[in-house]
Amino acid sequence: MPRTRSTAASALGIAAVLALSGCGSSGDAQESSGAPAAVPAAEGEGETLTVWVMDGDYTDETIEAINTEFTETVGAEVEVEVQQWEGITTKVSTALSTSTPPDVIDLGNTQVPGYAANGALLDLTPYKEDLQQGRTWLAGLEEPATVDGSLYAVPGFAGARAVIYNKELWAAAGITEAPTTTEELTAALDAVAAANTAPDFSPFYLPGQYWYAGMQWVWDAGGDIATSEDGTWTGGFSSPEAQEGLEAFKAFQNAYSTPASQTVDTLSPDQVQLFADGKTSAILATAGSVGLIQEANPALTDDSLGTFPLPGTSGATQPVMLGGSDWGIAARSENPDLALAWTKIAASPAIQDEYVFGVDGWIPNSTEGIEAAQASLDPLQQGFFTAALVSKATPAAADWPTIEGDKSINELFSAVASGSTDVAAAAEGFDEQLESTLNSGR
């Protein structure tokens, strides 16, 4: 099954990026006027491109396929450096500030805005259409890579959350089909609740601090975290749409999860262990949780489990928060044209379909890639891939990691779920903090 990754950057690393100034590069790529353009033809005989890849993101087979096509096309060689997660934000920030940075870097999708600040990453806007190669990138990868209307990274792969449910518990309650509407979902959970009356059982375990999940209700209602106009961020939780979503999250959480879950996160207690122990019939989680559940309880085979995207009241599935990877090119790269050529190959339909999905098991970077994968998906993958078709991301603001780091957004959803603070008051207070934090560099 596909793996998952953390997408939050540390405040220390972002501060280092913001200290960059005067970033520049030689080559045709850096001199573009911003008008749509093809990726420049590159001749690289005798040159070496340096690519940083995060440990666990891509298999050697996938990177080798990209490098082979690249070398055959442009003549240059590739030096791949596999990076470890510990301390990576500071390491990337430092590297981008040097005169000889790595040319191409594998970045967490929500890290891109911080690294793009003050020109640390090459502006790829002129080449966007050529880099897309006829495909429609997933919004949850493209949106955080787009800062003030300019593209600074190219989507690499995605990971999504979907509902994992115990088909045996549901069948015992008379439910044999995965729900596709909100009404079917609540009817199914009501039936499961009636058949499992233990006080510590949750039909759907949903911790109050689980803001990744809570945002799905907010987005489904038409709300958003924050919006930017002329570089100024405005918090979005005070809007009627966002408050409607918060109320819907609270109602669902209170109805189907235990009271004890209202103020906790997904790890204390571990929602995967609760599922494995039969204390809940459903959780919202990443694909990697399937293997963890089966490791904790081998009796739960593939036939025991099912997945589906959460249906929304909007009539579509709820938008999901995508984790994943984008390829960024250092603004100070000495080989921007070669870097663009390599990145275009990495994002190409052939690499995405045959390797990123076919070998690595990741959700590919486009809706067309997901559609192409359908025939090869096993039933447990289906829910995650379908969920990724409707996606969102955190604000493309350099200081967003501060919000994730101080866990204030966790506290917002916990306060809403527990009722410790009125929804309107909680939303207004959090919007003030959002605006203060996201606009701190202005």
Full set of structural domains in the chain with CATH: 11-159+322-378 (3.40.190.10), 161-320+407-438 (3.40.190.10)
pLDDT at 183 over 60: yes
Q: Where are the beta strands (DSSP E) in 200-344?
A: 226-229, 232-235, 282-286, 305-308, 320-321, 323-329
What's the half-sphere exposure (Cβ side, CA atoms, 13 Å) at 318? 31
Degrees (nearest 5) of the Cα angle 61, 55, 288? 90
Q: What is the identity of the amino acid at 128?
A: K
Instruction: Report the distance separating Cα 73 and Cα 207, nearest Å.
Output: 50
Q: Residues 385, 390, 394, 397: is their CA dihedral positive or negative?
A: positive
3-state secondary structure of 368: helix
Answer whether 402's CB lies under 8 Å from 434's CB. no
Of 90, 113, 86, 110, the closest CA to residue 11 belongs to 90
Q: Looking at residue 117, what is its pLDDT?
A: 80
Q: Looking at residue 442, what is its pLDDT?
A: 63
Q: How far does Cα 310 stand from its chain's mean position?
A: 16
Q: What is the identity of the amino acid at 158?
A: A
Mean pLDDT of 156-166: 97
Instruction: Report the distance separating Cα 288 and Cα 351, nearest Å.
Output: 22
Mean pLDDT of 273-289: 97
Q: At what angle do helices 182-195 and 240-256 cross, to 10 degrees?
A: 20
Length of the chain in residues, anyone?
442
Mean pLDDT of 298-316: 95
Q: Residue 118: which pLDDT band, with cuts at 50, 70 and 90?
A: confident
Residue range 65-98, pLDDT digits in tens:
999 999 999 999 999 999 999 999 899 999 999 9
Q: What is the phi/psi pair of residue 396, to 5°?
A: -80, 60
Residue range 366-390, pLDDT digits in tens:
999 999 999 999 999 999 999 999 9
pLDDT at 19 over 70: no
Token pair recorded at residue 422? 């009125």
Residue range 235-266, pLDDT digits in tens:
999 999 999 999 999 999 999 999 999 999 99
